[in-house]
């Protein structure tokens, strides 16, 4: 299950994100309360996240597992700001992602992510 | 290990926090990058957190474990704002907490926590 996700991240294969998502996947962003729902929108959001977070400094630093649920803690540096966060990923019985939650600290990093993700989503949607 | 923490939280025993901390405990706040170091300062910070987060709506909703490390996801409502977060707790070999990291989402909740924790810390320090 989770090794599929790790493979995607390690190889920066944003084009393969959609294959890993369940139709009814829900994404909980670190910034907004309202959920992002459905394969198409979540895929777009994760595409933007790949382009925003996954520079050379990105690495997963801790991993936790409980049944079909995973917590992956990551660390990365964006524009000189240290970003520390967790990806909380739930798989369904078909090994597809049904729930994806992201939290980020500290406040400075969230404000950065808020801005950078907004710009990236805009860019992806107008392309 | 973690059941000691759960007992403290369930019974709102902020007076017993210090007993559970290692001398060299480090706290990573959801708001600031700089670590809070040492039993005395971390205890003060967690006291403030108890008074800020632990109202009647507070509950742990998911738990993950990896050796002596735990991730506890919580949900609470403060001033009408939904606060979702994780406590990432590491115990040492003496079953004392040596590392405590908190992340919170969404942005509105972090801003609220930033303000509320600031006020609570000020109140505790002047008492």
The predicted complex's ipTM stands at 0.95
Task: Give SS3 for A31.
Answer: coil
**Would you say residue B127 has pLDDT above 80?**
no
Q: Are B49 and B27 in contact (CB under 8 A)?
A: no
Tell me whether B108 touches chain A (CB under 8 Å).
yes
Nearest to A31 among B86, B106, B114 (CB): B106
Using alpha carbons, list the distances in angstroms from residue A60 to A56, A74, B14.
12, 4, 33
Residue A67 zone, left/alpha/beta (φ > 0; ψ -120 to 50; rest): left
Hey, what domains does chain B have and what are their CATH numbers? 2-122 (3.10.450.50)
Q: Tens digit of pLDDT for each residue in A12-51?
A: 999 999 999 999 999 999 999 999 999 999 999 999 999 9
Nearest 10 degrees: Cα torsion B24, B29, B32, B33? 50
Over residues B76-104, the mean pLDDT reads 97
Assigned token pair, B126: 């002047």
Query: Chain A, 26-85: which have a CB under 8 Å from a chain B CB?
Result: 28-33, 62-66, 69, 71, 73, 82, 84-85
Q: Tens digit of pLDDT for each residue in A65-124?
A: 999 999 999 999 999 999 999 999 999 999 999 999 999 999 999 999 999 999 998 998
Q: What is the distance between the alpha carbons of residues B106 and A103, in angstroms, rounded to a whole number?
A: 8
CA angle, corner A113, sides to A12 and B54, nearest 5?
115
Q: What's the mean pLDDT when you consider all of chain B?
A: 95
Q: Are B65 and A66 in contact (CB under 8 A)?
A: yes
Q: Are A1 and A91 in contact (CB under 8 A)?
A: yes
- pTM for the whole thing? 0.96
Q: Are B114 and B96 in contact (CB under 8 A)?
A: no
Assigned token pair, B96: 């004392």
The reply to whether residue B105 touches residue A107, judged by beta carbons under 8 angstroms, is no
The reply to whether residue B107 touches residue A32, judged by beta carbons under 8 angstroms, is yes
pLDDT of residue A1: 84
Residue of A nearest to B35 (CA): A106
- Identify all chain B residues contacting A108, using CB atoms and an 8 Å cutoff: 33
Q: What is the distance between the alpha carbons of residues B59 and A57, in angstroms, rounded to a whole number?
A: 35
Q: Tens digit of pLDDT for each residue in B22-61?
A: 999 999 999 999 999 999 999 999 999 999 999 999 999 9
Cα A107 → chain centroid:
18
């Amino acid at each position: 299950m989770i090794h599929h996700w790790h493979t995607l991240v390690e190889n920066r294969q944003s084009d393969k994100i959609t294959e890993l998502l369940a139709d009814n996947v829900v994404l909980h962003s670190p910034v907004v309360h309202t959920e992002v729902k459905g394969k198409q929108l979540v895929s777009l959001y994760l595409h933007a996240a790949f382009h925003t977070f996954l520079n050379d400094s990105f690495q997963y630093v801790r991993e936790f597992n409980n049944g079909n649920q995973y917590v992956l803690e990551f660390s990365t540096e964006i524009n000189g700001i240290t970003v520390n966060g967790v990806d909380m990923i739930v798989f369904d019985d078909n090994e597809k992602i049904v729930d994806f939650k992201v939290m980020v600290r500290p406040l400075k990093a969230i404000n950065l992510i808020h801005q950078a993700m907004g710009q990236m989503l805009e860019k992806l949607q107008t392309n």
